[in-house]
């Protein structure tokens, strides 16, 4: 029954190909007759070109029919040749049917995806190249390839593949996962394992960049956070964040993961955190990296006294002050926010143990509301007097009345509180 069903499907597909080919030739001839000028009737070259183009289209339709048949029913050698033919036809100029029809109506995607999971390097490579050509410029084809479970076809051992094949496979996955608003429930276990293995292999920069870009895309989808953490992606991305060439993408991925519960716990338990992010704050020529590092630090420090204590021990405050003075606008805002957190925490830590009220309570002296109000009025009076004297001295300096700077400074120091000095 299955064979009969496949045969009928193939026959229907071939019938459709012949029908579309005839309709296209008919419409082209009809349109060309309507638009043809009288002088064109006497140009044999244009007629010859049209005939040659029609012949090439008919030949392409025939080759596509044979390729689809071989891909479904042929041997492995015939399937490899069919995959090459489909790649050429999908990229060719004389395409009888659109790529979407090739993938959706002719059913070439499932057998090509199965070939992409083969352990035979050449077989895998021709299948990946054909799928990449079908995916170009077609949202529907990308969805079909993902639904055929291409993500589970990653090789178990990356050492059996040459770097070109690894790059082509990664490029295909990157193209598929970059589909906007993709709402598919896919198992990313095998592809994450593949990407981590490739990044640990220390291949060329372009292969490293595209694999990191895939991890960055996966990190934007919350469903994949547990897979990324479970299979060691956090450690690899943290290591890549130490290098300026890959740091920006790595920090983006870490920022996406840090907003998830499992990602934040993985970062907090890593021994290099938060030191790696504090180190990035010293990169004066990398403002984007500073901004992303501060974003992750803010997430880690928020409602976590342990992380804030680690940051304090690693002397984060001087680094934050430098960024707050010299960083980009966004980096300055984030650095000031973190500084405010550390300031508030320090004040909350020392306030109950300092001041005259603590000593008064130790001796058991009661503090009446009247005494509190009197103390506040006295303090406001002292501050006002100090500010008035400072303002008077500044005014005399600006008007040139006071020529004796040393005596003026001496009077200011004697008559003012050191805390009220304007410098």
Q: Can you give the pLDDT at residue 155?
A: 78
Per-residue pLDDT reduced to its tens digit, 35-91: 444 555 445 555 555 556 556 666 667 788 888 888 888 899 999 999 998 888 888
User: What letter does residue 351 receive in the DSSP assignment?
Assistant: G
Contacts of 66 (CB under 8 A, 6+ apart): 82, 85
pTM (two decimals): 0.70
| The pair of three-digit structure tokens given for residue 186, joined into one six-digit string | 């896919």
Look at 74-83, 102-111, 302-311, 383-392 and tell me which has the smallest mean pLDDT: 383-392
With beta carbons less than 8 A apart as the criterion, state whether 244 and 276 touch: no
Element at 57 (helix H, strand E): helix 44-73
Contacts of 335 (CB under 8 A, 6+ apart): 294, 320, 321, 323, 324, 327
d(CA 375, CA 367): 11
Per-residue confidence band for 402, with pLDDT thresholds at 50, 70 and 90: very low
Residue appearing with tokens 């090739």: 102
With beta carbons less than 8 A apart as the criterion, state whether 71 and 112 touch: yes
Q: Can you give the pLDDT at residue 8?
A: 63
d(CA 216, CA 213): 5
Look at 89-93, 143-147, 257-261, 384-388 and tell me which has the smallest mean pLDDT: 384-388
Per-residue pLDDT reduced to its tens digit, 281-329: 999 999 999 999 999 999 999 888 899 999 999 999 999 999 998 899 9
Q: Can you give the pLDDT at residue 422?
A: 35
pLDDT at 421 over 50: no
Give the dihedral of Cα atoms 222, 223, 227, 228; nearest 10 deg: -20
d(CA 296, CA 315): 17
């Amino acid at each position: 029954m299955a064979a009969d069903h496949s045969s009928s499907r193939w026959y229907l597909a071939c019938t459709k190909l012949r029908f579309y080919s005839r309709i296209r030739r008919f419409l082209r001839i009809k349109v060309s007759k309507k638009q043809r000028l009288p002088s064109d009737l006497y140009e044999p070259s244009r007629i010859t070109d049209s005939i040659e183009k029609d012949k090439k289209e008919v030949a392409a339709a025939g080759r596509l029919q044979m390729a689809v048949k071989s891909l479904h029913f042929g041997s492995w050698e015939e399937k490899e040749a069919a995959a090459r033919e489909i790649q050429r036809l999908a990229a060719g100029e004389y395409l009888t049917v659109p790529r979407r029809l090739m993938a959706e109506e002719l059913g070439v995607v499932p057998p090509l995806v199965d070939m992409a999971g083969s352990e035979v390097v050449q077989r895998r490579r021709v299948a990946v190249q054909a799928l990449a050509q079908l995916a170009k410029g077609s949202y529907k084809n990308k969805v079909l390839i993902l639904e055929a479970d291409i993500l589970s076809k990653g090789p178990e051992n990356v050492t059996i593949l040459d770097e070109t094949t690894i790059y082509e496979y990664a490029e295909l996955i990157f193209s598929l996962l970059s589909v906007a608003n993709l709402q598919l429930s896919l198992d990313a276990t095998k592809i994450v394992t593949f990407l981590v293995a490739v990044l640990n292999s220390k291949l060329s920069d372009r292969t490293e960049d595209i694999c990191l870009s895939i991890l960055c895309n996966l990190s934007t989808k919350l469903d994949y956070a547990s897979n990324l953490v479970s299979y060691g992606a956090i450690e690899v991305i943290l290591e890549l964040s130490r290098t300026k060439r890959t740091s920006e993408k790595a920090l983006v991925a870490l920022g996406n993961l840090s907003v998830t519960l499992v990602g934040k716990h993985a970062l907090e338990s890593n021994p290099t955190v938060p030191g790696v992010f504090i180190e990035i704050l010293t990169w004066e020529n990398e403002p984007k990296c500073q901004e992303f590092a501060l974003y992750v630090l803010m997430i880690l420090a928020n409602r976590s006294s342990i992380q804030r204590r680690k940051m304090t021990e690693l002397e984060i405050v001087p680094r934050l002050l430098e960024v707050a003075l010299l960083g980009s606008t966004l980096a300055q805002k984030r650095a000031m926010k973190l500084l405010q957190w550390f300031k508030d925490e320090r004040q909350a830590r020392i306030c109950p143990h300092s001041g005259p009220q603590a000593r008064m309570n130790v001796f058991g002296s009661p503090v009446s509301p009247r005494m509190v109000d009197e103390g506040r009025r006295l303090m406001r009076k002292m501050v006002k007097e100090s500010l008035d004297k400072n303002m008077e001295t500044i005014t005399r300096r600006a008007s040139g009345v006071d020529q004796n700077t040393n005596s003026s400074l001496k009077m200011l120091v004697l008559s003012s509180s050191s805390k009220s000095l304007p410098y």
